[in-house]
Amino acid sequence: MSPGSGRIAVLREPERAESLRAALAEAGFDVIVHPVTRVELLGPAEGDDWETWAEAADWVVFTSLNGVAGFSAGVGGDARLAELLRRPLVAVLGAMSARKLDSIGVTSDVREERGTSVELAAAMVVAVASSSTVLYPCAAQTMPTLPRVLREAGHRLRQVVCYDTQPLAPAERQPLDWGSLAGAVVAAPSAVRALEDEPGLPAGFGFFAIGPTTAAALRAAGLKVLGVAESPTAPAIVRMVCATV
């Protein structure tokens, strides 16, 4: 991999951007973290009983760190979450989500640290007994792939909306000199939606997508895609950026 050069923006919340920021900086890039969204954790709606649902589930599946954080907050914290996850099997997508579950003592029975929701769903179809009950803590605007695959395989799926990602208002965003950038890394379709209101974004500016779903959202919005990472991990994203810039 050739050393990088130039300035790259990472359009993600600072606490979630740090590993990628550090990896890009180590590769030689000048990195700016420029969040365009914020995450709001959502508690149980009236009549919902997340703890009972978790205890009754055969499987609980997490596809994001926000899903882990939101569900944990909704059931009373990490210690209670670990208790609830002792009986059901657990599937997890993403290195950060997996490490968070590890840190609270939760064993992941199906684990895709570098894969996609499609690969996690495929692994679960193989591992999950037919007609299992699956609890899925997810975003308000979650992608339909994993739920569709599991339902088509005959599993009973309950989606629990435990967080939402909203665009930051333009006035809440830090000024950014887009013209000084070689590109910007986009990590989710929610960030693509937020770019509709981004001040000063020049026509024809190029973006790096962390995966095919985000790339499709960029293209649907009429935005230029410079490259797509082979997996949504910091090393894969850095390799893609270095190969492109």
Which sequence spans correspond to the domains of the chain? 7-36+168-244, 40-165
At 74-120, the pLDDT tens digits run 999 999 999 999 999 999 988 788 989 999 999 999 998 777 787 88
Instruction: Name the CATH architecture for the domain at 7-36+168-244.
Output: 3-Layer(aba) Sandwich (3.40)
Per the listing, tokens 């890009």 go with 24
For residue 21, is pLDDT > 60?
Answer: yes
Q: Which of 201, 230, 5 is nearest to 116 (CA)?
A: 230
Half-sphere exposure for 245 (CA within 13 Å, toward CB)? 28
For residue 26, is pLDDT > 70?
Answer: yes
- pLDDT value at position 212? 84
CA distance 46 to 190: 26
Scored b (16 or more CB within 10 A) or e, 196-223 reads eebeeeeeebbbbbbbebbbebbeeeeb
Sign of CA dihedral 21, 24, 30, 36: negative
- Give residue 242's region: left, alpha or beta (phi > 0; psi -120 to 50): alpha
Average pLDDT (156-178) is 93
- pLDDT value at position 112? 86
CA distance 90 to 102: 11
CA distance 21 to 23: 6
| Residue 114 CB neighbours (<10 A) | 15
Using pLDDT thresholds of 50, 70 and 90, give the confidence band for residue 123.
Answer: confident
- pLDDT value at position 143? 81
Question: Is 40-165 in CATH node 3.30.1360.120?
Answer: no
Sheet holding 206-209, edge to edge: 30-33, 7-11, 183-186, 206-209, 224-228
Using pLDDT thresholds of 50, 70 and 90, give the confidence band for residue 1.
Answer: very low
Q: What is the percent of the chain with per-residue pLDDT over 90, rounded to a whole number?
A: 68
Using pLDDT thresholds of 50, 70 and 90, give the confidence band for residue 233.
Answer: confident
Across-strand partners of 40? 164
Instruction: Read off the amino acid at residue 191.
Output: A
